[in-house]
Amino acid sequence: MFYYINGKLAALESTFAVIDAGGVGYKMTVTYNTYASLSASGANTAKLYSYMAIREDDVELFGFYSLEELSAFKMLITVSGVGPKAAVSILSQLTPAKLAVAVCTEDKKAISQANGIGPKTAARIILELKDKLKNQISGEDLKDAPTEIVTAGTSSKLSDAQDALAVLGYSRSEALTALKSIDTDNLELDEIIKLALKKLMR
């Protein structure tokens, strides 16, 4: 219903923000990472990308500092047994890039460090999200990608980076193009993803 809400930052706590837009105060549940980004900016205004969760007895609005975080949130709540609260907990512990790395490297420990997330839930998140990534890969994606990137696709780090960007909502071809000029051989996976995200967000 709301793509984003932009207005005066009327209140900010570690778990929620209130944005005054057009005289209406919208209370939005936020991750700790969004809270930290808003705090660091020091601005009196804020723009948060939103997701509305509607349940039988409640309606809750969630706000995210970046589209990548919103995309990761939406991906997480597709996993069976993972609701909005659990997704917020995970994204309070991990940035979208670190979550993507954890999924692609099957790092259950990193995901299960989030409050309320046990090893079994972490394993389910990895299993289901990796399966979704496999389903996203298509001939069409690779057809439009630069030849040298496709050829280099056997690189484990490069392949993990492509998968991680897919977790964040980017198409295979977008990911491949962003990775084209990045030194994937000598950089750590999370650095590769950060550099690719900077390119994609221009």
Q: What separation in angstroms does the CA of 96 have from each of 33, 71, 73, 150, 165?
A: 10, 9, 9, 25, 9
pLDDT for the residue 150 = 40
Residues 6+ apart with CB under 8 A from 65: 30, 33, 34, 37, 38, 48, 49
d(CA 149, CA 159) in angstroms, rounded, equals: 10
pLDDT for the residue 5 = 95
Mean pLDDT, range 113-142, rounded to an integer: 77
Residues 6+ apart with CB under 8 A from 99: 72, 76, 90, 91, 111, 167
pLDDT tens readout for residues 29-72: 999 999 999 999 888 999 999 999 988 888 999 999 999 899 99
Q: Report the relative pairing of strands 16-21 and 4-12 from DSSP bridges.
A: antiparallel
User: Domains (ranges, CATH) in the chain?
Assistant: 4-64 (2.40.50.140), 68-134 (1.10.150.20), 136-200 (no CATH)
d(CA 49, CA 53) in angstroms, rounded, equals: 14
| Predicted TM-score (pTM) of this structure | 0.76
pLDDT for the residue 139 = 40
pLDDT tens readout for residues 161-179: 888 888 787 887 888 888 8
Please write down the long-range contacts of 180-188, taking CB distance under 8 Å and 24 or more positions apart. Answer: 180/146, 180/148, 180/149, 184/152, 184/155, 184/157, 184/158, 185/155, 185/157
- Locate 135 and state its tokens: 């389903």
Q: Report the relative pairing of strands 24-30 and 4-12 from DSSP bridges.
A: unpaired
d(CA 52, CA 74) in angstroms, rounded, equals: 11
Dihedral over alpha carbons 128, 188, 159, 110 (to 10 degrees)? -10
- Name the 3-class secondary structure at 120: helix
Q: Report the relative pairing of strands 58-64 and 24-30 from DSSP bridges.
A: parallel
